[in-house]
């Protein structure tokens, strides 16, 4: 939405914003914690934020991307405020800054415990007012258009692959239209729905990543899947309700079900250690004790303050009979955020020309092996700005590709298709959670490969003979995305960041002395 609003201001611009459900249904809406940015220069600095990001990313982050995001963050915060985003302030009129795991200072701007929703709703209001933006809700992108659709053989070695738009399925009519564009932007979010348990909305099926991979674009760092340590444990919820990391920054303490603290066994930063460390610690405690969750304790905090800072969490838990001012919150890790994705440069441009990617589907290099808390929203707005500026500067020199053929919609539909699709989606989730989860091994990953390969063959066969539907396309994307996570995990012969394998134990190095 940020990109659309910026490019739509160009004279004679026409922007199509395609959503597979609605504008509201996105990972952004569920981002509770906030946005990281250096705003208090009396105690904080760009250098501290850069160091924190590099440490959390296990020194796999691209320093150019880190510096870009950190240094441009304050100006982007000002733009968001100008567009109507209301970050919380204290009684002195200054930003009420939080601190989250891995951050050395209080630098998280927030709007209560629903920051993402506040940002998203402000942008939606602006989108709906803009005369040059047409929103297509309940439309599903099937494939991006490249030279391949002109009959040209395209491989990953082809130096000049270009994107000309996408085939788009109108889910209400079933019609597949050809959307031609001079510039295309992917903002398709994450991959959480590839796993059994996730904090992501179920629309997060890796669509953009899978489309770019099939179009022979470069996809990178897919092995780095962040499991949020503290999703509310409530069996049957999909997605899982997120208990924000800000609650640990607020003073929440992780305990086993019998009330014992345990983080002191794993990291001197205790409950404020980076997410990968906390998630593995919880996973280990659960396995050692044979239990399905641990607990987060804020009962020692002021009840009124807790309700004020976390109204949505308080209300959700209360609806389940849990008063967080008096009771422990049951929590367990869940698939949460993908650090990898479509590889892009500092302008947000992918390896396929005329195709940009921003947000969670992109791999800018900012996160490296592990995302620092609340760095993702600011990354999205910084790179949306960069992609918009780069696009505006070149769009007039580009032409539409008018030779793209219409979609070949031959195929049939049988009653058993949905049964097969739903069962396959469940199987992929089970495979990924069992074999490609928080702790991995070569044996587990190879087993995942074998099982995914069978589902892949069945899915492609079904796709070729069926009438195209959102369901078969999502299954196809889930299988492709699961394969990429598994394959790139197998290729990394070390434990690093979010990728932890028992075959290559982590080497203690370069982290704690810098904290």
**Residue 84 confidence (pLDDT):** 84
- Per the CB < 8 A criterion, the answer to whether 363 and 224 are in contact is no
Range of the domain at 245: 233-335
Tens digit of each residue's pLDDT (9 = 90 or more) over 199-230? 998 999 999 999 999 999 999 999 999 999 99
End-to-end CA distance of the chain: 36
Residues with Cβ within 8 Å of 13's Cβ and at least 6 positions away in sequence, in order, are 7, 132
**Residue corresponding to tokens 């190095």:** 509
Own/partner contacts of 262-265, CB < 8 Å, gap of 24 or more, are: 262/294
CB-count burial class (<10 Å; 0-12, 13-18, 19+) for 120: buried
**Residue corresponding to tokens 């760009």:** 46
> Where on the phi/psi map is residue 206: left (φ > 0), alpha (ψ -120 to 50), or beta?
left
317 found inside a domain: yes
Q: How many domains does the chain have?
A: 1
- Per the CB < 8 A criterion, the answer to whether 220 and 430 are in contact is no
Residue 217: strand, helix, or coil: coil
- Per the CB < 8 A criterion, the answer to whether 84 and 129 are in contact is no
296 found inside a domain: yes
Instruction: Give the single-character DSSP code of 24.
Output: T
Tens digit of each residue's pLDDT (9 = 90 or more) over 383-432? 999 999 999 999 999 999 999 999 988 777 776 788 899 999 999 999 99
23 found inside a domain: no
Mean pLDDT, each 10-residue run in order, the chain (515 residues)? 96 96 86 87 96 94 98 95 89 89 91 85 93 97 96 88 97 95 97 94 95 97 95 91 88 96 94 85 94 96 95 95 98 95 98 97 97 92 97 96 90 79 94 94 96 95 90 96 97 94 74 37
> Where on the phi/psi map is residue 221: left (φ > 0), alpha (ψ -120 to 50), or beta?
left
- Per the CB < 8 A criterion, the answer to whether 401 and 104 are in contact is no
32 found inside a domain: no
CB-count burial class (<10 Å; 0-12, 13-18, 19+) for 442: middle
Q: How much is the mean pLDDT over the chain?
A: 93
Q: Which helix (H) or strand (E) holds 466?
A: none
- Per the CB < 8 A criterion, the answer to whether 204 and 191 are in contact is yes
**Residue 507 confidence (pLDDT):** 64
- Per the CB < 8 A criterion, the answer to whether 359 and 31 are in contact is no
Token output for 194:
């590839």
Instruction: Give the single-character DSSP code of 179.
Output: E
Instruction: Give the single-character DSSP code of 68.
Output: H
Cα(367)–Cα(350) distance, integer angstroms? 17
Strands of 280-354 (E only): list them.
294-297, 329-338, 341-343
The CATH number that applies at residue 268 is 3.90.700.10
Token output for 171:
């889910």
310 found inside a domain: yes
Question: Catalytic pick from 2, 107, 255, 275?
Answer: 275
290 found inside a domain: yes
Residue 479: name the closest of 501, 503, 502, 461 by CA.
461
Centre a 10 Å sphere on the Cβ of residue 42 and count the other Cβ atoms it contains: 5
504 found inside a domain: no
404 found inside a domain: no
Q: Which helix (H) or strand (E) holds 18?
A: strand 15-18
Q: What length does the chain have?
A: 515
**Is 275 an active-site residue?**
yes
| pTM score | 0.90
Token output for 382:
């910084």
């Amino acid at each position: 939405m940020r990109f659309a609003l910026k490019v739509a201001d160009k004279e004679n611009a026409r922007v199509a914003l395609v959503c597979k459900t609605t504008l509201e249904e996105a990972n952004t809406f569920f981002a509770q914690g906030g946005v990281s940015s250096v705003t208090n220069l009396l105690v904080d600095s760009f250098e501290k934020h850069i160091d924190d990001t590099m440490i959390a990313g296990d020194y796999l982050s691209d320093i150019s991307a880190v510096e870009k995001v950190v240094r441009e963050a304050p100006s982007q915060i000002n733009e968001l405020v100008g567009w109507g985003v209301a970050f919380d302030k204290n009684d002195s009129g200054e930003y009420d800054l939080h601190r989250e795991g891995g951050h050395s200072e209080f630098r998280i701007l927030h709007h209560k415990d629903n920051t993402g929703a506040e940002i998203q709703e402000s942008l939606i209001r602006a989108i709906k007012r803009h005369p040059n933006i047409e929103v297509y809700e309940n439309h599903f992108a099937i494939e991006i258009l490249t030279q391949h659709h002109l009959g040209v053989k395209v491989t990953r070695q082809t130096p000049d692959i270009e994107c000309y738009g996408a085939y788009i399925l109108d889910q209400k009519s079933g019609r597949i239209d050809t959307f031609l564009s001079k510039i295309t932007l992917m903002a398709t979010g994450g991959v959480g729905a590839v796993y059994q348990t996730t904090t992501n909305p179920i629309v997060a099926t890796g669509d953009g990543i899978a489309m770019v991979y099939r179009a022979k674009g470069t996809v990178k760092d897919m092995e780095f899947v962040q499991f949020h340590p503290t999703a509310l444990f409530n069996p049957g919820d999909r997605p899982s309700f997120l208990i924000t990391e800000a609650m640990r920054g607020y003073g929440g303490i992780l305990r086993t079900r019998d009330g014992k603290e345990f983080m002191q066994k794993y990291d001197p930063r205790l409950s404020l250690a980076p997410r990968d460390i906390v998630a593995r610690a919880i996973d280990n405690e659960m396995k050692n004790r044979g239990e399905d969750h641990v607990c987060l304790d804020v009962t020692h905090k002021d009840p009124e303050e807790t309700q004020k800072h976390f109204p949505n969490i308080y209300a959700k838990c209360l609806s389940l009979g849990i008063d967080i001012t008096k009771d422990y919150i049951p929590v367990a890790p869940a698939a949460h955020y993908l650090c990898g994705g479509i590889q892009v440069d500092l302008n947000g441009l992918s390896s396929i020309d005329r195709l940009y990617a921003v947000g969670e589907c992109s791999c800018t290099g900012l996160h490296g092996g592990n995302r620092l808390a609340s760095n993702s929203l600011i990354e999205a707005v910084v790179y949306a700005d960069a992609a918009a500026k780069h696009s505006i500067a070149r769009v007039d020199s580009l032409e539409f590709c008018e030779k793209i053929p219409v979609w070949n919609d031959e195929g049939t539909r049988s009653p058993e298709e949905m049964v097969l699709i739903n069962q396959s989606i469940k199987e992929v989730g089970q495979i990924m959670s069992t074999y490609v989860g928080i702790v991995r091994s070569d044996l587990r990953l190879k087993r995942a490969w074998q099982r995914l390969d069978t589902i892949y063959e069945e899915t492609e066969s079904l796709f070729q003979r069926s009438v195209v539907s959102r369901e078969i396309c999502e299954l196809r994307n889930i299988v492709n995305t699961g394969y990429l996570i598994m394959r790139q995990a197998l290729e990394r012969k070390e434990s690093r960041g979010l990728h932890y394998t028992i075959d290559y134990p982590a080497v203690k190095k370069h982290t704690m002395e810098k904290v």
